[in-house]
C-alpha cells in the first residue's frame, strides 16, 4: 500500500535545517499503534498545520538502529517494571543523510523524555573509548557493561507543526533483528506525538476520532519481548495483544517466558 506516500507528496515540505529548530530533546511523548490501512485516511485529513520533513528529496526516511544493554538486560527490565527513571541507548543511522549518532533516551520520573546524542562514524557492535566517556555520568552504571543487543529498522515520516513546538513521527515497515532471528510487521504503524508541554495536538485528535487510543510502545522492548532471549514480558502483554490484533498472522507465537 503506497497511496499514503502520494498523500505526503502533496504536503508542504520543511527542510532539515529549519526542522532542527524543533528537536525537542526535552519533551512529552504520546505513542499510538494502528493498522497501515488506516494511515491513508488519517493523512488525508491533515490540514495546513503541519509540514513534512524532506531530506535530499525524500519524505519517507529510512532509519537503522542498534540498541545496547547489559548482560542481564538492565535497561529492558527497567522499562518492563515501569521504573521512574529509565534509559535506552542506541546508535542510529539516519540513512538519507548518512549520519550516525550515539543516543541516550532518559525517561524521567516526571514523564519527560530527555535525549542526548553524540556524532558517530558508523554503527559498530562495540562502543569505543570516546563513546564510553560520553555515556559515563549520564547513566547510573558503568558504560563498559553495555553490549550490542537488538537491531530495529523502519521508515519514518516526520511532520512539524507550523506554530507549536510539536513533531509527529509516523513509522512504518518495522523490522527487528536479534541474533539470527528476524521479525517484520508490515501492517503495523507506530506514531508518536512529541511536544514541549502537554497541549492540544491536532494529529492526536485525528487519531482519537479514528478510535485510536494512546498505547505505550518501545521498539526496543517489544522487539526483545517477541524475539529476544526468553525474557519476561508479562507487563507488555496488553501491548502485545494489541499488536496481534493489528497484525493478525504476521506475529509469531509468544515465547514461553511470560512471567
**CATH at 82:** 2.40.320.10
- Residue 259 in any domain: the answer is no
The most confident of the ranges 67-71, 212-216, 228-232, 236-240 is: 67-71
DSSP-derived secondary structure for 39-95: HHHHHHT--TTEEEEEBTTBSSEEEEEEEEE-TT-HHHHHHHTT-SSEEEEEEEEET
> For residue 208, what are the CA distances in angstroms to 30, 32, 188, 194?
12, 10, 17, 16
Rounded CA-CA distance 55/57 in Å is 5
For the chain, what percent of residues have pLDDT higher than 90? 72
Q: Are strands 147-161 and 61-69 parallel, antiparallel or unpaired?
A: antiparallel
Q: What CA dihedral angle connects 197, 199, 201 and 204, to 10 degrees?
A: 80
> For residue 88, what are the CA distances in angstroms to 70, 114, 115, 148, 200?
11, 11, 10, 12, 27
- Residue 128 in any domain: the answer is yes
- Residue 103 in any domain: the answer is yes
- Residue 255 in any domain: the answer is no
pLDDT recorded at residue 27: 63
Q: Quick one: which of 60, 117, 120, 130 has its CA closest to 89? A: 117
Rounded CA-CA distance 182/190 in Å is 18
pLDDT recorded at residue 256: 55
Q: What is the DSSP letter of 142?
A: -
Residue 105 has pLDDT above 60, yes or no: yes
Rounded CA-CA distance 176/183 in Å is 5
Residue 259 has pLDDT above 60, yes or no: no
- Residue 258 in any domain: the answer is no
248 versus 219: which is more confidently predicted?
A: 219
- Residue 218 in any domain: the answer is yes
pLDDT digits (tens, 9 = 90+) for 14-72: 998 888 766 655 667 899 999 999 999 999 998 889 999 999 999 999 999 999 999 99
Is the overall model pTM greater than 0.75, yes or no?
yes
Mean pLDDT of the chain: 90
Paired with 61 in beta bridges are: 156
Residues of the domain holding 220 = 3-250
- Residue 159 in any domain: the answer is yes
pLDDT recorded at residue 116: 93
What is the total count of domains within the chain? Answer: 1
- Residue 129 in any domain: the answer is yes
Q: Output phi, psi for 129, to 5 deg.
A: -60, -40
Q: Is the dihedral of CA 59, 115, 183, 214 positive or negative?
A: negative
Amino acid at each position: 500500500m503506497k497511496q499514503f506516500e502520494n498523500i505526503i507528496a502533496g504536503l508542504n515540505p520543511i527542510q532539515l535545517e529549519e526542522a532542527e529548530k524543533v528537536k525537542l530533546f526535552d519533551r512529552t511523548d504520546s505513542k499510538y499503534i494502528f493498522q497501515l490501512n488506516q494511515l491513508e485516511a488519517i493523512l488525508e485529513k491533515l490540514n495546513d498545520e503541519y509540514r513534512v520533513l524532506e531530506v535530499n528529496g525524500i519524505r519517507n526516511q529510512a532509519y537503522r538502529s542498534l540498541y545496547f544493554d547489559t548482560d542481564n538486560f538492565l535497561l529492558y527490565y527497567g522499562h518492563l517494571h515501569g521504573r521512574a527513571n529509565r534509559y535506552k541507548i542506541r546508535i542510529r543511522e539516519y540513512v538519507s543523510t548518512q549520519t550516525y549518532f550515539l543516543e541516550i533516551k532518559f525517561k524521567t520520573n516526571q514523564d519527560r523524555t530527555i535525549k542526548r546524542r553524540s556524532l558517530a562514524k558508523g554503527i559498530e557492535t562495540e562502543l569505543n573509548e570516546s563513546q564510553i566517556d560520553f555515556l559515563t555520568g549520564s547513566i547510573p552504571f558503568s558504560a563498559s557493561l553495555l553490549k550490542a543487543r537488538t537491531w530495529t529498522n523502519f521508515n519514518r515520516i516526520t511532520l512539524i507543526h507550523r506554530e507549536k513546538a510539536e513533531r509527529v513521527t509516523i513509522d512504518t515497515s518495522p523490522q527487528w533483528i536479534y541474533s539470527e532471528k528476524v521479525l517484520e510487521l508490515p501492517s503495523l504503524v507506530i506514531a508518536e506525538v512529541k511536544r514541549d508541554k502537554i497541549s492540544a495536538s491536532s494529529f492526536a485528535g485525528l487519531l482519537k476520532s479514528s478510535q485510536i487510543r494512546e498505547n505505550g510502545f518501545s521498539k526496543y522492548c517489544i522487539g526483545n519481548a517477541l524475539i529476544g532471549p526468553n525474557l519476561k514480558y508479562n507487563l507488555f502483554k496488553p501491548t502485545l495483544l494489541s499488536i496481534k490484533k493489528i497484525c493478525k498472522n504476521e506475529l509469531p507465537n509468544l515465547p514461553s517466558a511470560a512471567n
